[in-house]
């Protein structure tokens, strides 16, 4: 029996992690490989030539890791990555999308008030945070098996919860995550028509010590700021135990539901 033989839902045969260059995506790839949670991992990232940490993992794990160039804001690249994937495998039983943007060097930053809102930043946030995971599903859902347990997990954020919004602000990030959540919920319904046993969920990882949250970590108590390794361990503990009835949930790092 292979070291990766499935015991209930505990391991996966082939996983695709999108947004794998750094942060939580990179930590997912690392843990999936190093803990034998996936037999083979495909890592989607924008610029493989600069993906040094991924390249190190590839050297350590050989054929178990394959790096796919793609950008979620370029449909052609998604289509080409899916074609490349097809030359390697016909099926994926784990698809995790970790892309996200909250701030960047070109002036995107979370709005404190209405007058900080501008169309360019709304477009950028929606393109990555909302449309990104949907387009990933559009191009890669055909790899999900018609029968048999498989998981689609989209990294969301509690601030995308409409019911939980008491502070306001962060218009673009909040609304793009709320839209992402609607897309994920829609997917959880439609994907079942072609992949009968899929479990499709949105995940809130908690506040994690990555580039995305760096400028906003002041005031976060140390015990509530998770290292990427800890965050991913907590999320994978949830992912490996998912059951059919979890389809369509929005789940936080502690296993509790987040209100939509
Ligand atoms: N960190 C937190 O505290 C926190 C809290 C709640 C939710 N989340 C969510 O968790 C997910 C992962 O966040 P993180 O903390 O790991 O962020 P991060 O360290 O800033 O990483 C963001 C990732 O998204 C990728 N990305 C951005 N635009 C892309 C595009 N057009 N195509 C492909 N990849 C793209 C980046 O690729 P490059 O390296 O090429 O730029 C990078 O791999 C996000 O969805 C985020 O919203 C994070």
Token digits of residue 115: 């007058």
Token digits of residue 142: 């055909």
Best probe residue, ligand 1, of 80, 81, 98, 235 (max atoms within 8 Å of C-beta): 98
State how far the Cα of 211 lies from the Cα of 100, in Å rounded to an integer: 11
Return the CATH number of the domain spanning residue range 12-252.
3.40.50.720
State how far the Cα of 250 lies from the Cα of 161, in Å rounded to an integer: 9
Looking up tokens 């899929």 gives: 198
Q: Virtual CA dihedral for 36, 231, 250, 220, nearest 10 degrees?
A: 180
Domain boundaries, the chain: 12-252
Task: State the sign of the Cα–Cα–Cα–Cα dihedral 186, 177, 84, 41.
Answer: negative
Residues of the chain falling short of pLDDT 50: 1-3
**pLDDT, tens digit, 9 for 90 and up, residues 69-94:** 999 999 999 999 999 999 999 999 99
State how far the Cα of 57 lies from the Cα of 249, in Å rounded to an integer: 32
β-strand partners of 38: 12
* 68 CA → ligand 1 middle, Å: 17
How high is the pLDDT of residue 2? 47
Backbone angles phi, psi at 29, to 5 degrees: -60, -45
Helix, strand, coil percent content, the chain, rounded in steps of 5: 45, 15, 40
Whether 35 contacts 65, CB under 8 Å: no
Ligand 1 contact, 230 CB (< 6 A): no
Whether 67 contacts 17, CB under 8 Å: no
Identify how many contiguous H helices and E strands the chain contains and give both numbers: 7, 9
* 250 CA → ligand 1 middle, Å: 18
State how far the Cα of 55 lies from the Cα of 49, in Å rounded to an integer: 9
* 210 CA → ligand 1 middle, Å: 9
């Amino acid at each position: 029996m292979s070291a990766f033989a499935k015991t209930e839902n505990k391991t996966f045969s082939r996983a695709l992690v999108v947004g794998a260059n750094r942060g939580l995506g990179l930590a997912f790839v690392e843990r999936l490989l190093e803990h034998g949670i996936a037999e083979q991992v495909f890592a989607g990232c924008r610029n493989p030539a600069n993906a040094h940490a991924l390249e190190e993992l590839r050297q350590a794990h050989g054929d178990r890791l394959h790096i796919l160039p793609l950008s979620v804001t370029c449909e052609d690249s998604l289509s080409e990555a899916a074609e490349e994937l097809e030359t390697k495998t016909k099926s994926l039983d784990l698809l995790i999308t970790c892309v996200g943007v909250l701030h960047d060097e070109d002036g995107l930053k979370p709005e404190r008030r209405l007058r900080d809102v501008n169309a360019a930043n709304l477009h950028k946030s929606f393109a990555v945070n909302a449309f990104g995971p949907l387009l990933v599903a559009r191009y890669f859902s055909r790899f999900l098996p018609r029968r048999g347990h498989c998981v689609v997990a989209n990294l969301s954020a509690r601030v995308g919860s409409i019911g939980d919004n008491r502070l306001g602000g962060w218009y673009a990030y909040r609304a793009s995550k709320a839209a992402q959540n609607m897309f994920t919920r829609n997917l959880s319904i439609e994907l079942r028509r072609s992949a009968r046993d899929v479990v499709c969920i949105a995940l809130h990882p908690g506040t994690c010590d990555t580039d995305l949250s760096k400028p906003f970590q002041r005031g976060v108590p140390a015990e509530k700021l998770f290292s990427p390794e800890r965050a991913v361990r907590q999320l994978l503990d949830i992912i490996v135990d998912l059951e059919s009835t979890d389809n369509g949930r929005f789940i936080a790092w502690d296993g509790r539901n987040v209100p939509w």
